[in-house]
């Protein structure tokens, strides 16, 4: 049996979505970004939304999301993605508009834009990667950094007296009347990946159906920032992040 | 069709925006320009042309909404006044770098800081020299009448799309608040998506199968790539300098002296010049209409002919630096200015002219 006989449609059990292009990713081993990117690509392809989708990339590691997903993209200033997405969706109401943001982007510098886009009920989907650290700039403390968690700007661990509490912004967004779907997922195992995919699918459907703002928080790993191996990162996330950021649907109307 | 109305400068901007087919306005209230958004909300253009008008949570959000809309090839604009424009400068730098055709209006008030709500021209440097980070320029139009508030709104979009670059209308509280007769342009239809694809092929309207993704970004990690962006921007600014200089001359034909002023102050200078002419002093006014590109060449030409120039501004002396660069020492350039929201009167200007410039 030669290779051309093996590569045959009848034998196809899995195929990378075409929307996910062949550019090698810059993400570190063990990082959640790659898995979430693939899920978004699969959903866009399965629903035939490529021609209708505009993504908004943030500042942070995922600023380069536009290098990997073959859709139209805009790159936003740090924290401003929900405002940029508002401008797009208001003028192109029949398009699928989503932002892809990290915790520093969404929950620190972009807090106002996040809350007000959600409060207006902008018909956009916000994919929120929460890895409790600033990855791209080298592992500084984020608004979601856990108590006593060591980062380059909290080398002795996050001190509540000095830095305040970890910000659970997704819980806040539940209270806003403009949000229609708020969920917290994680791509830490196969079941988690499947659930996250369903959540993103639902968020995108809400955007198309103009139901309001959907927030899909993905509790994520940052093995480089956490200074752990990929496997240890996953385990650390389950043991430490999940108790602080509990998985599941927080709002679904 | 055209329509003649009596209205405020701020109202004229709102009316003209709708009529020139603007797709979206995103703003945040601040005196003395709030009538722009108020007028748009009262006119309800979403019911007629389909234009979107949205009050944002901040100036920062508003300029980023403009970024998002402009990157879809839409005619999008925002307006503010001095402290609010400072907040927008982050977004303006991104818009300039991403080469988007946005329009920004600054109805200037006195600063620095929260300053005052009275008129000023103290944001000249901010508007003309860049304002935000990085090497960029805005096309800057300085209206001196309510009519020009309307005309320049349409012109700003025309130039912004022609050069894929942000254009600013740099007005002040006088022009924004005063009422004058204005002839409004006939209603233009908004661009269809087909027209957008032709006029602005980089528009993010969704990727069809037959083209590569459109990516609007101002980021380039490789400095060689960012250098290319900078070369392209600078080449564009040189083109703009070559083709888009606009200015007005008033009683300059026989002038032995000149006053140089922009916006509302140019009108006051015209009255001062009329006073001077009654006393037999031959003075004219040059009014730069585009502050970038600056009318360097015409000023250099006049510098050979006149005995002296008085630059008059409502600031501590900002445009005067560009006048001096243009004149290059060929004739004395003096400055008279008022700050903090104080407006100079014609007789004050005439007195200053007699003291500082008349030999």
In this complex, the residue of B64, B206, B209 whose CB is nearest that of residue A84 is: B64
Q: What pLDDT, in 10s, does the model give residues B6-44?
A: 999 999 999 999 999 999 999 999 999 999 999 999 999
- List per-residue pLDDT tens for chain A, 253 residues long: 788 888 888 888 888 999 999 999 999 999 999 999 999 999 999 999 999 999 999 999 999 999 999 999 999 999 999 999 999 999 999 999 999 999 999 999 999 999 999 999 999 999 999 999 999 999 999 999 999 999 999 999 999 999 999 999 999 999 999 999 999 999 999 999 999 999 999 999 999 999 999 999 999 999 999 999 999 999 999 999 999 999 999 999 9
Residue B149: pLDDT band (50, 70, 90) is: very high
Per the CB < 8 A criterion, the answer to whether A105 and A78 are in contact is yes
Q: What is the pLDDT of residue A7?
A: 84
Residues with Cβ within 8 Å of B309's Cβ and at least 6 positions away in sequence, in order, are B257, B258, B259, B260, B302, B303, B323, B327, B331, B332, B333, B334, B357
In this complex, the residue of B76, B209, B213 whose CB is nearest that of residue A87 is: B76
Q: Cβ of B87 under 8 Å from any chain A Cβ?
A: no
Cβ-defined contact of B67 to A92 (cutoff 8 Å): no
By CA distance, what is A113's nearest residue in B?
A: B61
Least Cα separation, residue B50 to chain A (angstroms):
9
Least Cα separation, residue A121 to chain B (angstroms):
13
Q: Tokens at residue A137, please?
A: 């700039």
Same fold, B3-193 and B247-356: yes
Q: Tokens at residue B106, please?
A: 């600054």
Cβ-defined contact of A83 to B64 (cutoff 8 Å): yes
Residues in chain B: 359
Task: Using an 8 Å CB-CB cutoff, list chain A residues near B23.
Answer: 91
**Of B112, B139, B98, B101, the residue nearest B24 (C-alpha):** B101
Q: Cβ of B52 under 8 Å from any chain A Cβ?
A: yes
**CATH code for the structural domain at A26-132+139-252:** 3.40.50.970
Rounded Cα–Cα distance for residues B283 and B269 (Å): 10
In this complex, the residue of A53, A57, A113 whose CB is nearest that of residue B61 is: A113
Number of Cβ atoms within 10 Å of the Cβ of B313: 25
pTM for this entry = 0.97
For domain B247-356, give the fold: Rossmann fold (3.40.50)
Where are chain B's structural domains? 3-193, 247-356
Q: Which of B207, B219, B222 to mutate to test the interface with A (most CBs of A within 10 A)?
A: B207
Least Cα separation, residue B217 to chain A (angstroms):
5
Per the CB < 8 A criterion, the answer to whether B119 and B109 are in contact is yes
**Mean pLDDT across the stretch B162-187?**
98
Local structure of A174: helix, strand or coil: helix
Q: Which of A90, A96, A208 to mutate to test the interface with B (most CBs of B within 10 A)?
A: A90
- CA B227-B229-B231 angle, to 5 degrees, is 70
Q: What pLDDT, in 10s, does the model give residues A138-165?
A: 999 999 999 999 999 999 999 999 999 9
ipTM of the complex: 0.96
Rounded Cα–Cα distance for residues B355 and B359 (Å): 9
Where are chain A's structural domains? 26-132+139-252
Cis? peptide before B293, omega within 30° of 0: yes
Cβ-defined contact of A90 to B71 (cutoff 8 Å): no
Least Cα separation, residue A186 to chain B (angstroms):
28
Local structure of A33: helix, strand or coil: helix
Q: What pLDDT, in 10s, does the model give residues A176-214?
A: 999 999 999 999 999 999 999 999 999 999 999 999 999
Q: Cβ of B61 under 8 Å from any chain A Cβ?
A: yes
Q: Which residue's entry shows tokens 């490529």?
A: A50
Least Cα separation, residue A111 to chain B (angstroms):
11
Q: What pLDDT, in 10s, does the model give residues B44-99?
A: 999 999 999 999 999 999 999 999 999 999 999 999 999 999 999 999 999 999 99
In this complex, the residue of B62, B68, B94 whose CB is nearest that of residue A88 is: B68
Q: What is the pLDDT of residue B46?
A: 98
Q: How far apart are the first and last CA of chain B?
A: 52
Local structure of B90: helix, strand or coil: helix
Q: Cβ of B68 under 8 Å from any chain A Cβ?
A: yes
pLDDT at B118 over 80: yes
Residues of A contacting chain B (CB within 8 angstroms): 50-54, 56-57, 63, 66, 69-77, 80, 83-88, 90-92, 95, 112-113, 116
Q: Cβ of B346 under 8 Å from any chain A Cβ?
A: no
Rounded Cα–Cα distance for residues B239 and B68 (Å): 26
The CATH number of domain B3-193 is 3.40.50.970: yes
**Of B139, B9, B30, B27, the residue nearest B83 (C-alpha):** B30
Q: What is the pLDDT of residue A3?
A: 84
Chain B, window 216-275: residues with a beta carbon less than 8 angstroms from a chain A beta carbon: 216-219
By CA distance, what is A67's nearest residue in B?
A: B215
Q: Cβ of B48 under 8 Å from any chain A Cβ?
A: no
By CA distance, what is A116's nearest residue in B?
A: B57
Cβ-defined contact of A63 to B68 (cutoff 8 Å): no
B358: Cα separation from own chain's centroid: 31
Q: What is the pLDDT of residue A4?
A: 82
Rounded Cα–Cα distance for residues B2 and B225 (Å): 47
In this complex, the residue of A51, A75, A91 whose CB is nearest that of residue B72 is: A91
Least Cα separation, residue A160 to chain B (angstroms):
30
pLDDT at B338 over 90: yes
Task: Using an 8 Å CB-CB cutoff, list chain B residues near A52.
Answer: 206
Cis? peptide before A25, omega within 30° of 0: no
Rounded Cα–Cα distance for residues B11 and B223 (Å): 45
Rounded Cα–Cα distance for residues A38 and A41 (Å): 5
Q: Mind giving me the DSSP string for B214-235?
A: PEE----SSHHHHHHHHHHHHH
Q: Cβ of B28 under 8 Å from any chain A Cβ?
A: no
Q: What pLDDT, in 10s, does the model give residues B243-297?
A: 999 999 999 999 999 999 999 999 999 999 999 999 999 999 999 999 999 999 9
Task: Using an 8 Å CB-CB cutoff, list chain A residues near B196.
Answer: none
Cβ-defined contact of A75 to B218 (cutoff 8 Å): yes
């Amino acid at each position: 049996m030669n290779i051309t006989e093996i590569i045959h449609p009848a034998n196809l059990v899995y195929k990378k979505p075409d929307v996910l292009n062949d550019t090698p990713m810059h993400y570190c081993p063990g990082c959640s970004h790659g898995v979430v990117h693939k899920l978004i690509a699969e959903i866009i392809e399965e629903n035939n939304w490529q021609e209708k989708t505009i993504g908004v990339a943030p500042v942070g590691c995922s600023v380069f999301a536009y290098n990997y997903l073959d859709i139209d993209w805009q790159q936003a200033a740090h924290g401003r993605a929900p405002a940029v997405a508002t401008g797009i969706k208001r003028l192109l109401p029949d398009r699928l508009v989503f932002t892809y943001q990290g915790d520093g982007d969404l929950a620190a510098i972009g807090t106002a834009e996040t809350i007000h886009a959600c409060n207006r009920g902008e018909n956009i989907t916000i994919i929120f990667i929460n890895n409790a650290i600033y990855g791209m700039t080298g592992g500084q403390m984020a608004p979601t950094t856990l108590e006593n968690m060591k980062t380059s700007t909290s080398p002795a661990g996050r001190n509540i007296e000095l830095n305040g509490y970890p910000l659970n912004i997704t819980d806040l967004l539940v209270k806003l009347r403009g949000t229609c779907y708020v969920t917290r997922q994680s791509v830490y195992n196969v079941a988690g990946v499947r659930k996250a995919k369903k959540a993103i699918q639902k968020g995108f459907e809400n955007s198309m159906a103009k139901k309001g703002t959907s927030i899909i928080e993905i509790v994520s790993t940052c093995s480089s920032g956490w200074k752990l191996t990929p496997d240890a990162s996953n385990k650390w996330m389950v043991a430490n992040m999940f108790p602080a950021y509990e998985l599941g649907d927080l709002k679904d109307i | 069709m055209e329509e003649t109305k009596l209205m405020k400068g701020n109202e004229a901007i709102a009316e003209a925006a709708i009529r020139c087919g603007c797709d979206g306005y995103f703003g945040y209230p601040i005196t003395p320009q709030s009538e722009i958004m108020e007028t748009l909300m009262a006119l309800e253009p979403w019911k007629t042309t389909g234009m979107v008008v949205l009050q944002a949570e901040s100036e920062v959000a508003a300029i980023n909404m403009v970024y998002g809309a402009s990157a879809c090839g839409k005619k999008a604009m925002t307006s503010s006044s001095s402290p609010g424009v400072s907040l927008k400068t982050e977004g303006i730098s991104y818009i300039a770098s991403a080469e988007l055709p946005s329009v920004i209006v600054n109805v200037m008030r006195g600063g620095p800081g929260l300053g005052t709500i009275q008129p000023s021209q103290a944001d000249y440097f901010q508007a003309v020299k860049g304002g935000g980070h990085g090497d960029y320029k805005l096309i800057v139009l300085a209206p001196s009448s309510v009519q020009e508030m309307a005309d320049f709104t349409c012109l700003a979009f025309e130039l912004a799309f022609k050069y894929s670059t942000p254009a600013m209308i740099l007005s002040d509280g006088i022009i924004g608040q005063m009422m004058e007769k204005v002839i409004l342009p006939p209603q233009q239809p908004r661009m269809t998506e087909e027209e957008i694809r032709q006029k602005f092929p980089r528009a993010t309207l969704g990727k069809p199968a037959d083209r590569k993704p459109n990516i609007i970004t101002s980021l380039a990690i490789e400095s060689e790539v960012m250098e290319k962006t900078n070369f392209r921007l600078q080449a564009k600014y040189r083109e703009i300098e070559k083709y888009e200089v606009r200015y007005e001359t008033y009683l300059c034909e026989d002038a032995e002296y000149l006053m140089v002023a922009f916006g509302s102050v140019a009108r006051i200078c015209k009255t001062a010049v009329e006073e001077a002419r009654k006393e037999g002093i031959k003075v004219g006014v040059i009014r730069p209409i585009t502050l970038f590109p600056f009318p360097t060449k015409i000023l250099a030409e006049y510098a050979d002919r006149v005995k002296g120039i008085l630059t008059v501004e409502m600031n501590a002396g900002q445009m005067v630096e560009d006048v001096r660069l243009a004149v290059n020492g060929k004739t004395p350039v003096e400055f008279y200015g008022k700050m903090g929201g104080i407006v100079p009167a014609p007789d004050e200007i005439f007195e200053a002219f007699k003291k500082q410039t008349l030999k």
